[in-house]
A and B are shown apart, each in its own frame.
Chain A
Amino acid sequence: MIHAAYLMPLLPLAGFVVLAVFGRRIGDPLAGWLGTATVAASFVVACITYAGLLDRPGRHFVQTLYTWIPVGGFQVKAGLLIDPLSMTMALFVTGVSTLIHLYSIGYMKGDQDYSKFFLYLNLFVASMLLLVLGSNLLFTFVGWEGVGVCSYWLIAFWFGRPSAASAGKKAFLYNRIADVGFLVAVFLVFERTGTIEYSGIFSHIGAIDPASRTAICLLLFAAAAGKSAQLPLFPWLADAMEGPTPVSALIHAATMVTAGVYLMCRINPLLGLSHTAQLVVASIGVATAFIAATIGCAQQDIKKVLAYSTVSQLGYMFLAVGTGAYEAAIFLMVAHAFFKALLFLGAGSVIHGLDNEQDLKRMGNLRRYMPLTTVTFVVGWLAIAGIPPLAGFWAKGDVLDNAFARFPVLWAFGLATAALTAYYMTRLSALAFWGDDRWREVLQAGPARHATGGHSPEPDHGADVGTGAHGGHGGLPHEAPWVMALPLVVLAILSFVGGLLNLPWHPSWAPLRWLGPVFGARLYDAHQSGATQWVLGVVDAAVAVLGLAVAFPLWTRRPERPALEPAVLQRSWYLDDIYDALIGRPGQAMAAFTATVVENRVIDGAVNGVGRLARLAGTGLRRVQTGYVRQYALGIVVGAVVLLAFMASRAWS
């Protein structure tokens, strides 16, 4: 059964090919169902492989498909590594992807590039699976780049909009810069151990000197920071919200951004040996979490709040990785996938229901009109805020407990961030679902609403933007169709019970316990007493409730509170502006300089100069041709005399 593993990436890849060739002809909604079917089948295969893995002793299986690069001393196989870590990733990636594909069938209805959307999504799932299942660094890198390019395509899906196109470019560039770290790390690993297979690297880990170990870990963390939007490479994720909401849900919440966390977990043998790297990872993680949380408190676009929330939660995951609590990191990753996807899909439902309205200040009181969405959204909200007994409380608690034991200072920041998380999520829910019907004013204003800038509404699925030409609902917010509602319900249930994956007292039946062998001795176990765990748990819950209690009354009563939304937070600590000034402008200046000076004067000058030189030489030499025969005769005599002199000198000596 386990030998069917190769089908996991193959099925979505086949879906991609079929949709690429026949997509347009299949059309809406059949293309969507086909895409969903392939990913669902992949999920089934993942389950089968999971069952097969449980049977295997040692829980470790490498399926080599073929030898990819046979070059003398550098042999790279195209192989899949099936172990608990990769299967965990594969299961929740395919599972959540199936739900989101289903959702997209309804969400993208009416879009003129319907089938293109699904083929990109399928390719994305295939690449993501290659990433997590790859048995060597290079194969993982193939998936790494694959998800990067799919992310670019999907962010810029409505490429007619300049903001979307540049957002796609921005995402790709940030990722690319980070990928330099990945490649250099691969080079370094190969130089030290002579192999890039994970099994080979870890068995030869003694060959890597400590300095290189730290370097490799930090380089791979740099790549992870780009992919998972950590400090200082996170600005792209907020802009990535230009893509359709299912894309934001799948790629920028549940799966692609977790690839960085996965990578760090995969190289845990190396990471476990380098305390410097661990400290760096944890520190940057928690710093990102805190800063992103502060920014999230002041955003007006519903998707941007969720985007910064994602960055913040990813920071938590890296905090766990840095602490050595890999199980906690994976736990949070899976739980976060559930409730973040839920939140995004819920937001998508809201946006869909309000005809592409994304500004929180123009929503309000939606609980009366979209009950199902409200309920599921509330579940997600409570989960991420960390209210027990939902998944977020247990997962975040796991991370914070281990951090408390190892890096107390970082734990304090983490706790503060938890409070902020509860605060801004409550603010989001309050503004959207409670309060007054602010959207009515928008409706009455009609097409004039477009006059205000600031946010970027999703275009009306290819149709005219802003006129509400969306099947004519009479303008009132409407509930989502069943294809969109079903995934919401499923994810809500999962967010509720997800805490069972890994409870603090480590019951033996907890599913995530099976990750143990992958991490072995590197797994940090705080071994805290039951009392300590209780106290910490209560503190976590109290902080969450505090955040909720502060935000809810504030934002249900009055939506306009400029004092609580300072510009520095709205502009994400001016990070974009700083990058623009430090890198963007100089880069453009250099490009302009190169184009005008180097291109025109140096290169063209050299080329033209050669021509000019030839002409000058010709003009100069031309003066020998006077036309006077006598002077030519003189020339002959000159030559003869020189020859004579030469011969005479030879004869003399």
Chain B
Amino acid sequence: MHAFVPLLATATVVDRIVFVVAALIVLSGAFGVVLARNPVHAALMLVMTLFGVAVLFVEQEANFLAAVQVIVYAGAIVVLFLFVIMFLGVDREENLGEEPLRIQRPLAVGLIVLGLAGIITLGALGHWAVGARSVAGAAQNQSGGDVAALGRSVFTTYLFPFEITAALLVIAVVGAVVLARRPHGAALAEEDEADESADAETDLGLGTDAPVTAATGEETR
């Protein structure tokens, strides 16, 4: 990194341009997620946002995190989203025009604007960042770069959270498998017939409720 130091003076303008572009990408992606009618479109807009955020990470010299962001978030999580969208067939477009809960939208918009104003105000009044410096160790200009710094902190200072999080991941996977499992003794054909018969408000399709007989293929409710 030392070789690039002289360039930092001029890097400012470039930095700002990069920032603005990345910010635009992030914002448009965010708006896209919120405003897209098709959930698949929303997922793709999310990917765009994630990329923008990754660029901003790099900008702040958190290169490792940027990489992880792209690989895990954009690569795994969004893909998972898309899997579920396709699996459940919930790619029907949502009618954004109607809103059954009438008070929801105006109140939401008002509150969010208020909240945003509040956050910005608080930040400005609080001089943005007034904490103690380098409590867990320095971040910049470390030997081995940010990867090494991160690794050192994770494996020494934050070892326990690291292990716990690993356990959490395992549990989450097991839980997801259990949750998403099909109910006992059901044939694959049951899915198609169940789709036709599902109509009642209370028919939530919770797999652990009444078992399905293969013959009728219909839920006895």
Q: Which A residues have a C-beta under 8 Å from some C-beta of B?
A: 626, 628, 630-631, 634, 637-638, 640-641, 644-645, 647-648, 651-652
> Which 6 interchain pairs have the tightest Cβ spacing?
A644-B118, A651-B125, A641-B115, A648-B121, A648-B118, A648-B122
Instruction: For the complex, give the distance between the alpha carbons of A45 and B116 in Å.
Output: 105
* In contact, B115 and A644 (Cβ under 8 angstroms): yes
B176: shortest Cβ distance to chain A, in Å? 20
A649: shortest Cβ distance to chain B, in Å? 9
Whether B126 is near chain A, meaning CB under 8 Å from some CB there, is yes
A624: shortest Cβ distance to chain B, in Å? 13
* In contact, B115 and A637 (Cβ under 8 angstroms): yes
A178: shortest Cβ distance to chain B, in Å? 74
Whether B104 is near chain A, meaning CB under 8 Å from some CB there, is yes
Instruction: For the complex, give the distance between the alpha carbons of A108 and B48 in Å.
Output: 117
Q: Which residues of B contact A630 (CB under 8 A)?
A: 101, 104
Additional A-B contacts beyond A628-B101, A641-B111, A651-B126 (16; CB < 8 A): A631-B101, A634-B104, A637-B108, A637-B111, A637-B112, A637-B115, A638-B111, A641-B115, A644-B118, A645-B114, A647-B118, A647-B122, A648-B121, A648-B125, A651-B122, A652-B121
22 contacts between A and B (CB under 8 A): A628-B101, A630-B101, A630-B104, A634-B104, A634-B107, A634-B108, A634-B111, A637-B108, A637-B115, A638-B111, A641-B111, A641-B114, A641-B115, A644-B114, A644-B118, A644-B122, A647-B122, A648-B118, A648-B121, A648-B122, A651-B125, A651-B126
Q: Which residues of B contact A644 (CB under 8 A)?
A: 114-115, 118-119, 122
Instruction: For the complex, give the distance between the alpha carbons of A651 and B128 in Å.
Output: 13
Instruction: For the complex, give the distance between the alpha carbons of A648 and B119 in Å.
Output: 8
Instruction: For the complex, give the distance between the alpha carbons of A644 and B121 in Å.
Output: 10
Q: Which residues of B contact A645 (CB under 8 A)?
A: 114, 118
Instruction: For the complex, give the distance between the alpha carbons of A638 and B104 in Å.
Output: 12
Q: Which residues of A contact B108 (CB under 8 A)?
A: 634, 637
Per DSSP, chain A at the interface is helix
Per-position contact with A for B84-108: 1 when CB-CB < 8 Å, else 0? 0000000000000000010010011
Q: Which residues of B contact A648 (CB under 8 A)?
A: 118, 121-122, 125
Instruction: For the complex, give the distance between the alpha carbons of A89 and B114 in Å.
Output: 97
B101: shortest Cβ distance to chain A, in Å? 6
Q: Which residues of B contact A647 (CB under 8 A)?
A: 118, 122
A521: shortest Cβ distance to chain B, in Å? 97
Q: Which residues of B contact A641 (CB under 8 A)?
A: 111, 114-115, 118
Q: Which residues of A contact B107 (CB under 8 A)?
A: 634
Instruction: For the complex, give the distance between the alpha carbons of A641 and B109 in Å.
Output: 12
A642: shortest Cβ distance to chain B, in Å? 10
Instruction: For the complex, give the distance between the alpha carbons of A630 and B108 in Å.
Output: 10
A273: shortest Cβ distance to chain B, in Å? 87
Count chain B CB atoms within 10 A of each CB in A641, A645, A652 and give the residue with the most.
A641
* In contact, B119 and A631 (Cβ under 8 angstroms): no
* In contact, B125 and A652 (Cβ under 8 angstroms): yes
B201: shortest Cβ distance to chain A, in Å? 11
Count chain A CB atoms within 10 A of each CB in B104, B118, B126 and give the residue with the most.
B118
Q: Which residues of A contact B115 (CB under 8 A)?
A: 637, 640-641, 644
Instruction: For the complex, give the distance between the alpha carbons of A159 and B106 in Å.
Output: 82
